[in-house]
Each structure stands twice: as C-alpha cells, then as structure tokens.
C-alpha cells in the first residue's frame, strides 16, 4: 500500500475540519485504525471512508462524541503529548511494560496541557517559565487544574536560549539585546514553552513585542526555528540546546529549564502513574537519556508537585 492511498493525522484533521487532538482521541479509542511508517502514524484511505460511512446515519456524529471524552476513561491506547525525544523513549518503555500502544502528539506545552484537561491525552509535557516566581510549570498547572487532582513529575532539565548564525556575528548575549540591537527574529507559536519563556522575559525587561522585527513570524518546533536561522530567514530564534547540535547554528544559553510531565490522578490512572514513576527512576532509562547528551537527569523522576 503506497502512502498516496493513506493520510497523515494532520491531513485527516483537515479533511474532517477538526483538531488533530480530536483525531488522536478517535485513534486512542480504536474508532479510527492507523498504521505506522517509521515514527509517523497514517490512516488508510479505505478506513477513513469506512469511518465516515458508518457515521452518516448515526444519531450523534463521532467527532462530537470525541469532543466530550473524559479524563478518567480507561483507553486501550495511551497518548503522550510533547516534542522532546525523551518522550519517545518514555513511550517505548511504557509499551514494553503495559503491552499497550503509545501514540505521540507533538503539541506545544500549553496545548498539550489543555488536551490533558479535556481528556484528549494521558501524559502532557511542559516547560513553561513563570516570570513572577522564577519557577517552571508548577504555577501554571496549579491554576489550570484547580478543580482536578494531578501529579507533576520531572523528566529532565535542559538549556534554553538563542539560536544565532555561526560565529554569532551580531554578538547576541542577553535578552537586553532586544532593546539595543537590530536583527530579525523567528518565534515559536503561542502556548509553546519557548514562546512563554520569551514573552515572560520581554515582560520582565519591559520590552514591547511590537518593537521586535519578526516577532509575529512563528514556527511550530525547535527544529523549524533553528533551520530558519541556519538558512538566513532570521538572525535569532529561541529554542533548546539539543537542536543546535543538529543544525548549523550556534547556541547562546539563557536559562536551565525544567521539563516536566503532568498526569491526572484518578483511580483508572493510578497504574499508569506508578509505572511512569518507576520507569523514570530506573537506571536503564536514565542511562539511555543521559547517553543522548545535553540533558541533566539529576531531578528525573522526582515529584515536583502533587495534589492531595
């Protein structure tokens, strides 16, 4: 079967005019079959047509059913939201222990957390800096999940900062350079951890986003931002250190950020929570992550915050 006879998750979402998270939820519940090409999930065209045909005469559209999924439902599949490679390794370990398919949703921090809130994923990662406290993640999840029990667990710490062209010709060093130097910037999408870091730092330093050339030009991943700097579409971008090693750019570290995951505390989720905590604290998992380089695993597996 060729890929021309199948669709990516994004293409299915566009065809049905719904969000990707809605499609992931349908996959997770087993309503829409998928297969994998490498790390990419695809939907066979015939399966999509069958799915649509079955629901033409139903009393309630399947997409509407997917939108009211509850966080406590015991799904046959697990969806992990976030972009870091460490989450792929975590997914592999979960699959080994639970004999359950783990699907990956590559959403930014805020969108992933909101997906968890609405029951559209099971594990959400985040790295969101709070300028008022100087803390990562905890201030946000305490407000978002104010009516839900949850647990926040560290995965890794990592460096975040600026991507600049080789040799750093503009000598970008600090966030204050946004006030004193002229350059073209490439941004991340609203709700991503990198965008949150930038916006909070601009607020702290009293810098108006409207004064930054390129502030409204957004990319959806660290890789895309670094590539834009490497090919000259921008002078400066914001992202994590790991990606700079893959692209021909220099990296200027600004902060050490805490990369955590959050799970809802429900009776149905307790086995998954215990399993994730066990995996994060195993020497095998920690060694595999440490071997990737550019990650600090000293807090890995520690509970950063937990509701009663």
Q: What is the pLDDT of residues 82-120, one digit of tens each?
A: 999 999 999 999 999 988 889 999 999 999 999 999 999
Cα-based torsion angle of the residue sequence 282, 283, 289, 292 in order, rounded to the nearest 10 degrees: -170
Cα-based torsion angle of the residue sequence 10, 12, 14, 20 in order, rounded to the nearest 10 degrees: -50
- Looking at residue 64, its pLDDT comes to 39
Q: What is the pLDDT of residues 35-48, one digit of tens each?
A: 877 667 788 888 88
Give the pLDDT band of residue 21 (cuts 50, 70, 90): confident
Half-sphere exposure of 247 (CA within 13 A, CB side): 24
Which tokens belong to 191? 């709700």
**Residue 167 Ramachandran class (φ > 0 left, ψ -120 to 50 alpha, else beta):** left
Which tokens belong to 157? 């710490």
**Cα Rg of the chain (Å, integer):** 20
**Parallel, antiparallel or unpaired: strands 250-264 and 123-126:** antiparallel
- Looking at residue 168, its pLDDT comes to 98
Nearest to 194 by CA among 304, 88, 84: 84
The dihedral built from the CA positions of residue 136, 142, 148 and 150, taken in this order, carries a sign that is positive
- More confident call, 65 vs 218: 218
DSSP secondary structure letters along 152-207:
EEEEEEEEEEEEE-TT-TT---STTHHHH----EEEEPTTSHHHHHHHHHHHHTT-
Nearest to 251 by CA among 138, 145, 177, 164: 164
Instruction: Assess whether pLDDT exceeds 60 at residue 63.
Output: no
Q: What is the pLDDT of residues 151-193, one digit of tens each?
A: 999 999 999 999 999 999 999 999 999 999 999 999 999 999 9
DSSP secondary structure letters along 59-99:
SS-HHHHHTT--TT---SSEEEE---HHHHHHHHHHHHHH-
Cα-based torsion angle of the residue sequence 217, 221, 224, 229 in order, rounded to the nearest 10 degrees: 70
CB 237 within 8 A of CB 228: yes
CB 263 within 8 A of CB 276: yes
Q: What are phi and psi of 17, to 5 degrees?
A: 60, 45
Q: What are phi and psi of 174, to 5 degrees?
A: -140, 170
Instruction: Assess whether pLDDT exceeds 50 at residue 60.
Output: no
What is the rounded average pLDDT of the residues 287-302? 97
Which tokens belong to 45? 């065209």
């Amino acid at each position: 079967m060729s890929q021309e006879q199948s669709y990516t998750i994004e293409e299915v979402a566009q065809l049905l005019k719904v969000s990707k998270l809605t499609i992931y939820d349908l996959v997770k519940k087993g309503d829409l079959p998928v297969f994998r090409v490498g790390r990419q999930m695809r939907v066979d065209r015939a399966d999509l047509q069958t799915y649509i045909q079955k629901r033409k005469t139903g009393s309630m559209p399947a997409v509407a059913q997917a939108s009211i999924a509850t966080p406590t439902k015991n799904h046959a599949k697990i969806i992990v939201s976030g972009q870091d490679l460490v989450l792929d390794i975590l997914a592999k370990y979960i699959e080994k222990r639970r004999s359950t398919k783990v699907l990956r949703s590559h959403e930014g921090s805020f969108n992933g957390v909101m997906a968890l809130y609405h029951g559209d994923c099971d594990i959400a990662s985040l790295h969101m800096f709070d300028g008022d406290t100087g803390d990562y993640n905890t201030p946000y999840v305490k407000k978002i999940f104010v009516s839900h029990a949850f647990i926040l667990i560290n995965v890794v710490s990592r460096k975040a900062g600026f991507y600049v062209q080789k040799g750093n010709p503009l000598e970008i060093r600090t966030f204050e350079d946004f006030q004193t130097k002229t350059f073209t910037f490439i941004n991340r999408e609203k709700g991503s951890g990198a965008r949150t870091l930038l916006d909070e730092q601009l607020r702290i330093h009293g810098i108006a986003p409207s004064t930054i050339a390129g502030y409204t030009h957004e990319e959806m991943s660290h890789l895309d931002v670094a590539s834009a700097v490497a090919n000259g579409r921008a002078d400066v971008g914001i992202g994590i250190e790991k990606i700079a090693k893959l692209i021909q750019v220099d990296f200027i570290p600004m902060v050490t950020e805490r990369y955590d995951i959050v799970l809802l505390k429900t009776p149905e989720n307790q086995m998954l929570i215990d399993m994730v905590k066990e995996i994060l604290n195993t020497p095998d998992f920690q060694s595999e992550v440490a071997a990737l380089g550019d990650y600090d695993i000293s807090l890995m597996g520690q509970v950063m915050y937990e509701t009663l």
